[in-house]
């Protein structure tokens, strides 16, 4: 009887009401990431660390399974519980972000990870991001709150999270947070002059810190190297990525035939798209971009039928975050942007990144499922 009850609950309360096209597309993206991990990127990472050839693939698979569990949990909650859990988890994850400068693990000059004895190493900002979108939307949709207070509260929250990221330093994630806030502020109907003023002040302050504070010298060097392609000393990663993409041409060299992929740093995370391109061609990048655009289209189609303003903002913020992160990742790989560490949602290896994307996906599926 209990077994029948579980099946009934799964079918009638989840599967029957979930948006299957969005779920199917997300499943395809995760599967593509696992496929590339199996045949290419995990082998590169394993060779560099002298581990079992499929060590990183199996870790990637475990992260995706954990991600699927998070998708199911967050898409199963009723909306009231979703908001309550998001608020609680936001403050818990925000505390972990505060702990990064104190007990964080430094890797390659940045302190972005924490290693708690009861949890595997993780990047707190990845857990903060999905819930930050929800919090922004809740603040901006408080009907009984003065409009100026709403904008001020969301701006203070954005500034706080951004400062915690700048301290690490992590400019890429800072840009994601600011972009998400700006999109939600704009869609909430704010005066455009206010948005431009706040954004300009933030840009001026960030530029001042990068230019005049010694801690950010490496960021300044990366930016200057980006504009000085001939003599720049911080273009090694993007140069190798471009070589790899160019080497693959339009149709690629074939599975396992890439020769330059072993020279691409962080091939399984921040530069996965260049490795994919060498073996499967530029056409593979185009197809992946199409999948992302179809996902965005599907969610925005759902937004057009949504009547609750808060749900609209959360959905807009979630897909904007995914789209912006994918844009930065691909832009860095093809040298449209200066070098910054940014994973490709759904495809890149990385536990924190996969969990973050899965939580976002769970929230999207929750708010797009059929109302009963």
pLDDT tens figures, 129-141? 999 999 999 998 8
- So what's the pLDDT on residue 197? 78
User: Structure pTM?
Assistant: 0.86
Distances (CA, A) of 201 to 72, 196, 250: 41, 9, 43
pLDDT (tens digit per residue) in 154-204: 888 998 998 888 887 788 888 899 889 888 988 887 767 777 777 788 778
- So what's the pLDDT on residue 17? 85
| DSSP string computed for 218-256 | HHHHHHHHHH-TTT-SS-HHHHHHHHHHHHHTTT-S-TT
- So what's the pLDDT on residue 257? 65
Give me the number of domains the chain comprises: 1
* Mean predicted confidence (pLDDT) in 289-308: 91
Q: What is the mean pLDDT of the chain?
A: 81
* Mean predicted confidence (pLDDT) in 349-353: 86
Q: How many CB atoms lie within 10 A of CB 82?
A: 19
* Mean predicted confidence (pLDDT) in 90-97: 92
Half-sphere exposure of 328 toward its Cβ, with a 13 Å CA cutoff? Answer: 22
186-198 burial, b at 16+ Cβ within 10 Å, e below that, comes to ebbebeeeebeeb
Domain of residue 331 covers 2-368
Residue 10 has pLDDT above 80, yes or no: no
Q: Which residue has the tokens 């504070």?
A: 213
Q: Which residue has the higher pLDDT, 35 or 246?
A: 35
Q: Is the dihedral of CA 290, 295, 298, 302 positive or negative?
A: negative
């Amino acid at each position: 009887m209990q077994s029948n009850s579980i099946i009934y609950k799964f079918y009638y309360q989840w599967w029957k009401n979930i948006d299957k096209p969005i779920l199917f597309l997300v499943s395809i993206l995760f599967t593509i990431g696992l496929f590339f991990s199996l045949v290419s990127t995990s082998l590169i990472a394993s060779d560099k660390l002298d581990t079992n050839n499929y060590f990183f693939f199996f870790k990637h698979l475990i992260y995706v399974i954990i991600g699927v569990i998070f998708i199911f949990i967050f898409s199963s909650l009723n909306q009231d519980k979703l908001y309550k859990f998001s608020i609680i988890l936001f403050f818990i994850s925000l505390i972990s972000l505060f702990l990064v400068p104190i007990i964080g693990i430094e890797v390659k000059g940045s302190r972005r990870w924490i290693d708690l004895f009861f949890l595997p190493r993780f990047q707190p900002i990845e857990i903060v991001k999905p819930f930050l979108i929800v919090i922004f939307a809740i603040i901006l949709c408080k009907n009984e709150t003065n409009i100026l207070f709403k904008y001020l509260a969301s701006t203070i929250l954005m500034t706080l999270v951004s400062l915690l990221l700048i301290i690490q330093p992590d400019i890429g994630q800072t840009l994601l947070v600011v972009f998400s806030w700006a999109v939600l502020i704009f869609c909430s109907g704010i005066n455009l002059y206010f948005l431009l003023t706040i954004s300009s002040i933030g840009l001026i302050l960030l530029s001042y810190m990068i230019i005049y504070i010694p801690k950010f010298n490496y960021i300044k060097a990366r930016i200057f190297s980006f504009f000085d392609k001939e003599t720049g000393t911080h273009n090694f990663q993007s140069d190798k990525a471009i070589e790899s993409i160019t080497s693959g041409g339009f149709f690629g060299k074939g599975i396992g035939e890439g020769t330059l992929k072993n020279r691409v740093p962080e091939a399984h995370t921040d530069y996965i798209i260049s490795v994919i391109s060498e073996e499967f061609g530029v056409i593979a990048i185009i197809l992946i971009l199409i999948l992302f655009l179809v996902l965005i289209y599907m969610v925005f189609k759902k937004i057009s039928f949504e009547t609750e303003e808060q749900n609209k903002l959360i959905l807009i913020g979630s897909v904007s975050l995914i789209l912006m992160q994918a844009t930065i990742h691909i832009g860095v790989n093809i040298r449209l942007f200066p070098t910054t560490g940014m994973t490709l949602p759904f495809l890149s290896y990385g536990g924190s990144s996969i969990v973050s994307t899965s939580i976002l996906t769970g929230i999207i599926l929750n708010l797009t499922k059929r109302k009963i």
